[in-house]
Chain A
C-alpha cells in the first residue's frame, strides 16, 4: 500500500514537473516572453527591468529554476489590470467558482442518476432510447449556446430570471443549468452502465430468487452499489467544472475563475491566463492522485497492479 501510494505520488510529481515545463517552454519558445509579460504600452526601461528580473540573458534552465522558485512561494506574478498579486485574485474568485460548480453538480446528479436508473431498468425500451437521445444532445450542445438560449427565453421573453451577475439564488439557476447540462448526460450514461453491471451480478439474482419485489431489489440492492462509480466521477467532475466554466461564466458574467480567465484574455493580462491554466492543471493532477489512492483503499486488487 505504501509502495503504491509512493509510486502514485511520484507520478503526480512528474506530471506537475511536466506541466510547469510545458507552460514555461510554450511562453519561451514562441518568441520574446517580455512581450507577454510586460504590460502593453510599457516603456523601454520597464521592459529592461522585466528582462532583468526574468534573467532572459541567462540559460533556459536557470530561468526555469527561478520560475519554479517563485511559483513555490505562491508568486504567480502581478496582474496588469487589477494591480494585485494573481494568486490573491485567484483565491478571491475560487469560492464563486466552487458555488457554481456545486450547484451545477447537484443539478446534473438530480437529472443524471434517476434517468440513468430508468434507462437501465427499461433497457432497450422507450426510456432507454429517450435517455440515449438526451445524452447525445447533452454531449452535442455547446454549453455557452444553451446559456444564451436560456437567457433569451427566461430573461428576455419571460423575464423570470436575471440574465447576468451574482448574489442571489436566482442568479445561480441558469449558469448551473448551462454548466451541468453536459455533465448530466455523462452522469446518466455512467449510472446506466453501472446499474446494468450490478443488475447482472449474482447477488441481485439471489435477491430476486429470495422473492424480493423488483422495486426493493433496484432501490435497496442495486442502486447503492451502482452509485459508487458515479459519485467518484462526480468528485472528479466537480474539479473539472471549476476549470471548464469559462464560457458559461462569461455568458452570465459570473465572477468566478472562468470569468477571470476571460478578463485575462480581453485585457491581455498574461500573468492571469498563465496562473489559471497552471492552477487548473495542478488541481486536476491532485484530484487524480486522490482518486487513485481512494480506489486502492477500497479495492485491494488495485494496490498490487504493476
Chain B
C-alpha cells in the first residue's frame, strides 16, 4: 500500500488513516481523552456545573469579545465550555467503557452458552437475540429510559441491554466452529465438564473477537449516549455530557454561537473516529476471520 500513497501526494507516515500500520494518532487521541477524563478536577479551570450569569454566551478567546478567563467561551448559563468539555470526557469515557464491557460480558457469555450447549437453550437465546436486534437500538434505548428514568448508571445498564445482542451473534457463530475442533473433542474425552470446556477452552479462543467487537462498539455506544442525552433522556442536566451540551447549544444556534454546537460535536467525532480506526486495526491484527465484518 505504501507505494501507492504517492497518489495523494503524501508520504506514508502522514497517512494516519491507513489500517495497515499502528494507528498512532487515534491511540493518542483516546489516551488524551482518557487522561483529561481522569484529571478533570485538576485540569478544568472552572466549575462545569456552576455558571456566571454575568458572562453568558462569551465567544472563544480568539474572537472579538472573548476573554482569557473563558478560553472556549461560555454557554447560555455562563458556564465555561472548556471545563464542561473536560468533564464531559469523563462522562463519555465512563459510560462508553462500562456499557461496552457490560454488553460484552453478557453477550459473550450468552454467545458461548448458546453456541456450545445448542438445543433449546440455543433456540431461546438466539430468538431473543434476533428479536432485540430487530428493534432499532436508539428507539429501544429511549423506550427503556422512558420506563426507568434517566441517570448515568441507568444509561449504562440500558446501553448494555440494548447492545449485548451484537456480541452474542458473532461469538455464537465462532463457538459453533470451535466446538468441532480437535482440542475441544480431546477435552471432552479427557472428561472435562461442559463448564470447564466453555470457560477454559472456548472462552480464550473467542476473547480476541470480543475485544475487537468491543472497540468497534465503543463508538456506537458513545454516539447513542450522546443522542440520548441530546434528546433529554440520557445523562441528566446539569451534568456536563457532550450530547447534553449539544442540546443546550441549540439555544444559541440560530444567533450563530457556533462554539456551543461545533466544539462538543468535534469531541464526540474525534473519540468515535479514533475508536473506529483502532477497532479496524485490531480487527485486522487480532482476528483475520473478522475482516469481512
Interface positions of A (Cβ within 8 A of B):
11, 14-15, 18-19, 22-23, 26-27, 30, 36, 124-126, 129-130, 132-133, 136-137, 139-142, 144-145, 148-149, 151-152, 155-157, 163, 240, 243-244, 246-247, 250-251, 261-262, 264-266, 270, 273-274, 276-277, 280-281, 284-285, 288
Smallest CB gap from B270: residue in A? A140
| CB-CB nearest 7 A-B residue pairs | A145-B265, A18-B131, A126-B7, A140-B273, A277-B143, A243-B136, A140-B272
B17 engages A132 (CB within 8 Å):
yes
Query: Would you call A142 and B262 a contact (CB within 8 A)?
Result: no
Instruction: Beyond the given A19-B134, A163-B254, please list 15 additional residue pairs across the A-B interface where CB-CB is below 8 A.
Output: A14-B131, A15-B131, A27-B147, A136-B17, A140-B219, A142-B272, A144-B226, A145-B261, A148-B246, A148-B253, A148-B261, A151-B254, A155-B254, A247-B227, A265-B142
Residue with the greatest number of chain B CB neighbours at <10 A, chosen from A125, A136, A276? A136
Cα(A284)–Cα(B135), bound, Å:
7
- Do A273 and B136 contact each other (CB < 8 Å), given the known contacts A144-B230, A151-B253, A152-B253? no
How far apart are the CA atoms of A285 and B255 in the complex, in Å?
Answer: 43
Residues of chain B whose beta carbon lies under 8 Å from any beta carbon of chain A? 1, 4, 7-8, 17, 127-128, 130-132, 134-136, 138-140, 142-148, 219, 223, 226-227, 230-233, 246, 249-250, 253-256, 258, 261-262, 265, 268-269, 272-273, 276-277
Q: What are 26 of the A-B contact pairs (CB < 8 Å)?
A: A36-B147, A129-B7, A129-B8, A140-B272, A140-B276, A144-B230, A148-B250, A151-B254, A152-B262, A156-B254, A243-B136, A243-B139, A246-B142, A247-B227, A265-B142, A265-B146, A265-B231, A265-B232, A266-B232, A270-B146, A276-B139, A277-B139, A277-B142, A280-B136, A284-B136, A285-B131
- Chain A residues, Cβ within 8 Å of B4: 124-125
Are A139 and B276 touching (Cβ within 8 A)?
yes
List residues of chain A with CB within 8 A of the CB of B256. 152, 156-157
Contact A246 B138 (CB under 8 A): yes
**Residues in B whose Cβ lies below 8 Å from that of A140:** 219, 269, 272-273, 276
Q: Binding site of A, secondary structure by majority: helix, strand, loop or mixed?
A: helix
Min CB gap A144→B, angstroms? 6
Q: Which residue of A lies closest to B266 (CB)?
A: A145
Complex Cα gap A144–B7 (Å): 34
B292 — nearest CB in chain A belongs to which residue?
Answer: A193
A140 to B144, CA, bound (A): 24
- Give which listed residue, B134, B232, B233, B255, contacts A281 with CB less than 8 A: B134
In the complex, what residues of B have CB within 8 A of residue A124's CB?
Answer: 1, 4
Whether the pair A15, B134 counts as a contact (CB closer than 8 A) is yes
Whether the Cβ atoms of B272 and A26 lie closer than 8 Å is no
Chain A residues contacting B249 (CB-CB under 8 Å) are: 148
Task: List B contacts of A133 (CB < 8 A).
Answer: 17
In the assembled complex, which residues on chain B have CB atoms less than 8 Å from the CB atom of A276?
139
**Closest Cβ–Cβ distance, residue B21 to chain A (whole Å):** 14
In chain B, what residue has the closest Cβ to A15? B131
Q: CB distance A149 to B223 under 8 Å?
A: no
CB B231 to nearest CB in A, in angstroms, measures 6
Q: Is B136 a contact partner of A22 (Cβ separation < 8 A)?
A: no
Instruction: Please report the C-alpha to C-alpha distance between residue A132 and residue B140 in the assembled complex, in whole angstroms.
Output: 30
* Docked complex Cα distance between A251 and B230 (Å): 10
Complex: A125 Cα to B8 Cα, angstroms: 9
Residues in chain B near residue A163, CB distance under 8 A: 253-254
B161–chain A nearest beta-carbon distance, Å: 9
> How far in angstroms is the closest Cβ of chain B from A53?
19
Using A19-B135, A277-B135 as known contacts, say yes or no to A265 and B269 having CB atoms under 8 A apart: no
- Whether the Cβ atoms of A15 and B143 lie closer than 8 Å is no
Q: Are B231 and A247 in contact, CB atoms less than 8 angstroms apart?
A: yes
Q: Which residues of B contact A157 (CB under 8 A)?
A: 256
Q: Which residues of B contact A148 (CB under 8 A)?
A: 246, 249-250, 253, 261, 265
- Which B residues are CB-close (under 8 A) to A273? 142-143, 146
Closest-CB distance, B290 to chain A (whole angstroms): 15
User: Contact at B7–A125, with CB atoms within 8 Å?
Assistant: yes
Given A18-B128, A136-B276, A262-B231, decide whether A247 and B138 contact each other with a Cβ distance below 8 A.
Answer: yes
- Residues from chain A with Cβ under 8 Å of B272 in the complex: 140-142
Once A18-B127, A132-B17 are accepted as A-B contacts, the answer to whether A152 and B261 lie under 8 Å apart by CB is yes
The CA of A11 and the CA of B130, in the complex, are separated in Å by 10
Task: Write out the residue numbers on chain B whose beta carbons fall within 8 Å of the beta carbon of A149.
Answer: 261-262, 265
Check B127 against A15 for contact (C-beta < 8 Å). Answer: yes
Contact of A145 among B127, B268, B277 (CB under 8 A): B268
Task: Tell me how far the C-beta of A67 lies from the nearest C-beta in chain B, rounded to whole angstroms.
Answer: 15
A288 to B130, CA, bound (A): 11
Partner of A19, one of B131, B139, B147, B227: B131
Cα-based distance from A157 to B7 in the complex (angstroms): 35
Smallest beta-carbon distance B154→chain A, Å: 10
A264, B146: Cβ atoms under 8 Å?
yes
Which A residue sits closest to B216, measured CB to CB?
A139
Q: Which residues of B contact A137 (CB under 8 A)?
A: 273
Known A136-B273, A142-B268: A280·B135 in contact at CB below 8 Å: yes
Q: Give complex CA distance A264, B146 in Å.
A: 9
Q: Is the CB of A250 within 8 A of B231?
A: yes
CA distance A71 to B262 in the complex (A): 44
